[in-house]
Structure 1
Amino acid sequence: MITGSICKAARALVEVSRGKLAANAGVDKRAVEFFERGIHIPDDAAIAALQSALEELGALFIPEEASQGAGVRLKFNRSLTRRIDALENEGGPTAKDDVP
């Protein structure tokens, strides 16, 4: 399970707002804020939903090992991310094909 500070760091890495994360995870926006600020820890299902949503957005969580602490990094490097962005924005408006 992730902590509030790891959640906040992951959200910053994938550049997503609390509102968008909350919507993607199906969790209340204030619950995300309180979790990140250490005010309230949501139930395990909500934390798992937040972690899953962040992973879908490109965060990769690193488990704690021996003397190494837990962490988070981007799933994709910046070069690959730029290429994916270029492909997603390529083309034009979608339209119905005339091909049967």
Structure 2
Amino acid sequence: MEAYTVPLTTYLARAGRALSGVSVDDVSRAAGLTPEQVQRFEHGNMAVLSDAENQQLRRALEEFGVVFFGDDDRGGYGVRRKHSALKTAQLQNWEGEGGPVSEEDI
């Protein structure tokens, strides 16, 4: 599976956000964009983002656990989650352990 190296398409952005389960508000904040820019981009308006903004959106989605991959001999470009469902469940369980965060009394 080769890495996807061309600019993010509207379809991949929409699929990546849906797959990660992140809201438009959260991904736009992480990318330094407005929610309206992200929504317009996802609905097919490629011109709404500059090349730099496209990269910002891609990096934000990758931070939320999305992996983009390019064409290869097995199929076309696509998107997937960084971790399997089992690994994601384990990570969520680990994050919930230990109780509330407080100052250490050492």
TM-score for both structures, normalised by structure 1: 0.91
| Higher mean C-alpha displacement, 20-29 vs 59-68 | 59-68
| 1:59-78 deviation line (CA, Å, top 9, x unaligned) | 00011347832110111000
Q: Contact 2:27/2:57 (CA < 8 Å) preserved in 1? A: yes
Q: For 1:25, which of 31, 38, 45 is the aligned residue?
A: 31
Query: What root-mean-square deviation, in Å, do the aligned CA atoms of Structure 1 and Structure 2 show?
Result: 1.5
Instruction: State which of 78, 88, 93 in structure 2 corresponds to 1:86.
Output: 93
The answer to whether structure 1 residue 14 and structure 2 residue 20 are counterparts is yes
The residue type paired with residue 8 of structure 2 is I
Structure 1 stretches of 5 or more lacking a match?
none
Provide TM-score, normalisation by structure 2. 0.86
Indicate the residue corresponding to 2:11 in structure 1.
Answer: 5
Runs of 4+ in 1 over 2 A off after TM superposition: 64-69
Shift of 1:40: 4.3
Partner of 2:3: none
Q: C-alpha distance in 2, partners of 1:92/1:67?
A: 45
Unaligned 5+ runs, structure 2: 1-6
Q: What secondary structure sits across from 1:10 in the alignment?
A: helix
Identity %: 34
1:97 alignment partner AA: E
Whose relative contact order is higher, 1 or 2, with alpha carbons under 8 Å and at least 6 apart? 2
CA distance in 2, matches of 1:87, 1:19: 26
Letter aligned with residue 51 of structure 2: D
